[in-house]
Amino acid sequence: MKRFAGLLATLTMTAGAHAGEVQVAVAANFTAPMQQIAAAFEQDTGNKAVLAFGATGKFYAQIHNGAPFEILLAADDETPLKLERERQTVPGSRFTYAIGKLVLWSAKAGYVDSQGKVLQAGQFAHLAIANPKAAPYGAAAVETLTRLNLYDRLQPKIVQGENIAQAHQFVGTGNAELGFVALSQVARDGKFTSGSGWIVPASMHAPIRQDAVILGKGGSNPTAAALMAYLKSDKARGIIRAFGYAL
């Protein structure tokens, strides 16, 4: 922490003369916390994080097609590791910035019980999930349904969003009565901000370890290194916790 404090102090003192920008690809589930972190980062250092949100799988393809991203905040740990092995990243820059939590959520109060038994009853027309091939939260949803021996029975009711943001939108607009989303999208400080939900036990699916990494294009940008250091600060970690992530 002392090392980070020294870096932050230096960045703050020189913000006016050396303010920079960094292009950041952010997993859709991390939209709200990263918006807060980016605002705090700019206020504290004068540097700006330019954010793009979407599915980790799509970002992977875009990075290979020459997208100008300098940092990737993925929804998994596999994609950054894969990019690292492909020599598309700055060596030694990868770390786990958050561990995500999956929740079965409905915009209707009282609709989802605290044990998720609403899934067993099956009294709904649509169940929203993110695309499991592109979004780790979607893969975790499929894994959970499989563990509950419900996937085959409920598959005809599943509607897929391109990413977790779209899955949340399906439920929020009422196009699906319930769906698997990220806890960060529907809760603050451990309480649901609206609707009702069941926080899926971590034992129901593989851990959703979310890794950050500096991409090759960001290797010569000091603002990229500064943002990665800021993500490890007490202020950033406090924001991450408030949105329901583990660290």
Q: In this predicted structure, what is the pLDDT of residue 75? A: 92
Assign 65 to helix, strand or coil.
coil
Q: Are 57 and 141 contained in the same domain?
A: no
pLDDT digits (tens, 9 = 90+) for 182-228: 999 999 888 899 999 999 999 999 999 999 999 999 999 999 999 99
Nearest to 44 by CA among 229, 189, 188: 229
CATH, residue 85: 3.40.190.10
Q: In this predicted structure, what is the pLDDT of residue 18? A: 57
In a domain, 247, yes or no: no
Q: Are 7 and 59 contained in the same domain?
A: yes
Which domain range does residue 88 map to? 2-99+208-242
Sign for the CA dihedral angle at 75, 81, 87, 92 comes to: positive
Q: In this predicted structure, what is the pLDDT of residue 30? A: 94
Q: Are 193 and 107 contained in the same domain?
A: yes
**CB-based burial, 140-172: b 16+ in 10 Å, e otherwise:** bbbbbbeeeebeeebeeebbbbbbbbbbbbbbb
Ranges of the chain with pLDDT below 70: 1-18
Q: Are 189 and 107 contained in the same domain?
A: yes
Assign 75 to helix, strand or coil.
coil
* Run of H or E residues at 135: none
Please state, as a whole number, how many other Cβ atoms lie within 10 Å of the Cβ of residue 124.
Answer: 16
Sign for the CA dihedral angle at 230, 234, 236, 237 comes to: positive
Q: Based on the structure, what is the number of domains in the chain?
A: 2
| Residue 69 per-residue DSSP state | -
Q: Are 10 and 85 contained in the same domain?
A: yes
pLDDT digits (tens, 9 = 90+) for 157-183: 999 998 899 999 999 999 999 999 999
Q: In this predicted structure, what is the pLDDT of residue 231? A: 98
In a domain, 233, yes or no: yes
The pTM assigned to this predicted structure is 0.81
Q: In this predicted structure, what is the pLDDT of residue 34? A: 98
Q: Are 38 and 69 contained in the same domain?
A: yes
Q: Are 111 and 59 contained in the same domain?
A: no
